[in-house]
Structure 1
Amino acid sequence: MDMRALRSEGDTNITPARERWVASIADLQTQTMLTQDSQYFLHQAMSTPCLDALVGANGIYLEDAAGKRYMDFHGNNVHQLGYGHPHVLGRIQQQLASLPFSPRRFTNQTAIDCAKKLTEIAGGDLNRVLFAPGGTSVVGMALKLARYITGNYKVVSLWDSFHGASLDAISVGGEACFREGMGPLMAGVERIPPAVSYRGAFPSSEGSDVHYADYLEYVIEKEGGIGAFIAEGVRNTDVQVPSKAYWQRIREICDRHNVMLIIDDIPNGMGRTGEWFTHQAMGIEPDMLCIGKGLGGGVVPMAALITKDEYNTAAHVSLGHYTHEKSPIGCAAALATMEVIEQQNLLVKVRDDAAYVAERLESMKQRFPIIGDVRGIGLLWGIELVTDRLTKERAFDAAEQVLYRSLALGVSFKVSQGNVLQLSPPLIIERKDLAKALDIVEQAISEVVHSTDLTT
């Protein structure tokens, strides 16, 4: 398999650079834990064998078995509030003491309150909710509901997209590393190029990305029988931020052809863009919104499908039917997460932080030719490293070197597409810590640039 495919979602764990990093770990407890982990868990790309062994997670920090702390700028996108937020933990403990579980066929006030609050922050006509234990499951529910409503089973999605790792989710996903060796997948999926500003399939001399939306209409009209278009509002891993004009055009096309617009906001919801959800930042409203990850406050697996009352038409179909469908614990964590975001005014803070990060990264780009592009929104940013700004050749080796040097200096992030440093810190991060982390990334880039001949 092409190594580039393995690098699409994150930095791969099977390169010589990863082997050197693990071999450099001198702590005996860490070595023992990594050996045991490799022995008992199935190996898979980007996880086992693992990077390090943790013993703690608090606030913006991870702590490994050797006592080293990392500012976490990755967090699997669950750490909007960092780790172990006291308000979230307090609400969970209260719920554990009163109602720890709610079997299917029963409801509970915590679940009702959580659903109501989600409809309030989603806004518009998004006023119906269905919970699930994870984002992948929510994507499956959305695809099923779209089929039922439209009577059409075909779906359009984007190349390079990620919607989960189950068979239905990888069927609509656009990353080859998840489909490798899987054989036939869900029928009726058509993929189109994403709106990419820096190295897109159809670059525009005018800088516009609206023509990528026009390709959706072309496929809908040529293929026929399309029931849904699914996409991330903002591509999380390598940070692609389509324009508002693109999304408004997508909305118009879906309306004109009776195609359900499903926005996957699982990684970016709960404030990362400076709005509750990315569709609000883009000025549109989807027919279905998929959320998860940070919804559980970095503690409990929790996800939700939010849709419109007019689509409450499949009462005799089990769209989800999950054991933890109305989890009091998960809903308590989600309610607490929303309370913290509101009480600490984090949406405004994120927008202020975004301006600071943009200025810092643009300054780095001016000083380091290895940086081909910087892009982002809120507290989600990508630094694309290239060997040459004219050819835009991806700087795979340099990106790995920057990653491991940053880890050594105390900042953890992931690399997407092999050359994009993806930075997504907790929304609670203080400005001094944000500045320190960016200083470390800049130092790592500078050291790699001055120690490597990037033309070879």
Structure 2
Amino acid sequence: MTAALRNEQGDVNDSARRAQYRDALGADTQAWIERDAAVFLHQQLSTPVMNVLARTVGARIYDLAGNSYLDLHGNGVHNAGFSNPEVLAAMLRQMQEELVFTPRRYTNIPAVRLAEKLVSLTPAGLDKVLFCPGGSEAIEMAISLAKHVTGRWKTISFWDSYHGNGFQAASVGGQEHFSGGMGPMMPGCFHVEFPQYYRNPWGLTDRRAIDDLYLRQIREILHRNPDVAAIIGEPISATPVVPSAYYWEQVRAICDEYGIFLIFDEIIEGFGRTGTWFACQQFVTPDVLVLGKSLGGGALPLAGIVTHRKYDCVAHRSIGHFTHEKNPLSASAGLAAIEYIEKHDLVGNSQRLGAYLVEGLRELQREFPVIGNIDGRGMHLGVDLVIDPARRRRHPALAEQVMYGCLQRGVALKVIEGNVLTMRASLVVTQEDCDQILGALAASLREALD
């Protein structure tokens, strides 16, 4: 497998620079990394690990040596901050009540309250909820619902997307890394290109014209395949790329025309990350909204779907038959995190400081032409590093060097697609934290380019 494919989802864990970084860690840390590698199955992007953490608090992570890093990755769970004191207090209360699990066929008050809260926050018309342990399972539920309601079985999703590792989730995902070597995947999974303005293959600058060419791919599939159940995508991609409102308005119109479900995966983008409670609020309302990651308050695994009441019509089936479907401990953590985001206006903080970061990144771009493009919304930003700004050739070597330079300066970011520095800070960050991010990037770029 080539490095380009392995770089789709994140930075690789077997590069020379990764080994150099690990070699510089203390003996105690290296011993624990070796013990970890001895007992866990090795897989790209995770094991062997990068470092060993002792604490995760607020917007930061701390290793065994006491080094602090402003975490711009967090696997997307840390919208309300790691170890949020109000989330931990809610979990403690729930444990003291001796209600930490509810067998199937029963419900509990925390689960009901969380479901009601989601209905109140999501766009009008999305008023039925189903929970599950993780995002992959939530995608499975959303697709299953679409297939049962429509009576169809094919799907359209996007190349380079990631929707999880379940069988349907990996099939609709657009990354070979998660489907290669698996043999035949779910049949009927068509893929199209996600709108890309900076690197569109036609060399166009008119966004409407670019959108129309991407939309044509969807129409061509539907012209030949009338049995499509759903179109599945992230309203803003993980890279990130922000499509135009026109693009999603047209996709919504196509779905309405053909009687197709529009499924939005906001496992990453939800709960204020893009400067609104949900990214779809900047575009259109889907038929199913898929949520996860920060839904568990940064403490426990929890995901789910929110959909229209009219689609509550598969009572003869079980599309989400999970042991922890209504886990009261997870629900109490999720509800506390949402209430914390509300109380402290973290959605507004994401919007304000996201704009502040973009302004600072634009200034860096003027100093460093290798910053080819800046995209994203709120605390969901990406910096595309290029070898040749005119030809927009990707620069993976520089991206990896800058990533490790930032780590040395206390900022932990992630590389995606080989050359894009992705920055997804906790929504509790301050302006001083943003200045640290910009300073670390500037110093790391100067060091790498000297």
Q: Say yes or no: TM over 0.5.
A: yes
Q: Does 1:196 align with 2:196?
A: yes
Letter of the structure 2 residue corresponding to residue 399 of structure 1: A
Partner of 2:235: 233
Helix, strand or coil: the match of 2:290? strand
Helix, strand or coil: the match of 1:228? strand
Partner of 1:44: 43
User: Take 1:33 and 1:251, find their aligned partners in 2: how far apart are those partners?
Assistant: 50
Any conservation in 1 of the 2:197–2:205 contact (CA below 8 Å)? no
User: Take 2:416 and 2:425, find their aligned partners in 1: how far apart are those partners?
Assistant: 16
TM-score (norm 1): 0.96
Aligned positions of 1:326-405 closer than 5 A: 326-405=326-405
Partner of 2:211: 210
Q: Residues 217-273 of structure 1: CA distance to partner in whole angstroms, max 9, x if unpaired?
A: 22111222111000011111x211111111111100100011100000001101101
Q: Residues 95-140 of structure 1: CA distance to partner in whole angstroms, max 9, x if unpaired?
A: 1111111110001111111101101100210000000010100000
Partner of 2:270: 269
Letter of the structure 1 residue corresponding to residue 84 of structure 2: H
Any conservation in 2 of the 1:194–1:200 contact (CA below 8 Å)? no
1:203 to 1:221, Cα distance in 2 relative to 1, 3 A:
farther
In the TM superposition, what is the alpha-carbon distance from 1:204 to its structure 2 partner? 2.7
Any conservation in 1 of the 2:271–2:347 contact (CA below 8 Å)? no
Aligned positions of 1:140-179 closer than 5 A: 140-179=140-179
User: Take 1:13 and 1:362, find their aligned partners in 2: how far apart are those partners?
Assistant: 30
User: Take 2:381 and 2:361, find their aligned partners in 1: how far apart are those partners?
Assistant: 9
Helix, strand or coil: the match of 2:364? helix
Partner of 2:13: 13
Partner of 1:93: 92
Between 1:160-169 and 1:209-218, the stretch displaced more is 209-218
Letter of the structure 2 residue corresponding to residue 401 of structure 1: Q
Letter of the structure 2 residue corresponding to residue 235 of structure 1: S
Q: Give unmatched runs, 5+ long, in structure 2.
A: none
Any conservation in 2 of the 1:78–1:297 contact (CA below 8 Å)? yes
Any conservation in 2 of the 1:193–1:201 contact (CA below 8 Å)? no
| Number of positions where the alignment pairs a residue of Structure 1 with one of Structure 2 | 447
In the TM superposition, what is the alpha-carbon distance from 1:202 to its structure 2 partner? 4.4
Q: Residues 340-361 of structure 1: CA distance to partner in whole angstroms, max 9, x if unpaired?
A: 1111111122111122111101
Helix, strand or coil: the match of 1:432? helix
Helix, strand or coil: the match of 2:113? helix
Helix, strand or coil: the match of 1:421? strand
User: Take 1:79 and 1:203, find their aligned partners in 2: how far apart are those partners?
Assistant: 38
Partner of 2:118: 118
Any conservation in 1 of the 2:402–2:445 contact (CA below 8 Å)? yes
Letter of the structure 1 residue corresponding to residue 30 of structure 2: Q
TM-score (norm 2): 0.98
Helix, strand or coil: the match of 1:314? coil
Partner of 2:306: 306
Helix, strand or coil: the match of 2:207? coil
Q: Residues 305-337 of structure 1: CA distance to partner in whole angstroms, max 9, x if unpaired?
A: 100000000001011110000010111111111
Helix, strand or coil: the match of 2:14? coil
User: Take 2:445 and 2:225, find their aligned partners in 1: how far apart are those partners?
Assistant: 46
Q: Give unmatched runs, 5+ long, in structure 1.
A: 451-456
Helix, strand or coil: the match of 1:382? strand
Q: Residues 15-72 of structure 1: CA distance to partner in whole angstroms, max 9, x if unpaired?
A: 11212211222x1110111001111100001110111011111111111111111110
User: Take 1:138 and 1:34, find their aligned partners in 2: how far apart are those partners?
Assistant: 32
Give the percent of matched residue pairs that are identical in Structure 1 and Structure 2.
Answer: 37
In the TM superposition, what is the alpha-carbon distance from 1:203 to its structure 2 partner? 4.5
User: Take 1:75 and 1:231, find their aligned partners in 2: how far apart are those partners?
Assistant: 22
Helix, strand or coil: the match of 1:63? strand
Helix, strand or coil: the match of 1:290? strand
User: Take 1:316 and 1:442, find their aligned partners in 2: how far apart are those partners?
Assistant: 58
User: Take 1:302 and 1:182, find their aligned partners in 2: how far apart are those partners?
Assistant: 27
User: Take 2:292 and 2:205, find their aligned partners in 1: how far apart are those partners?
Assistant: 37
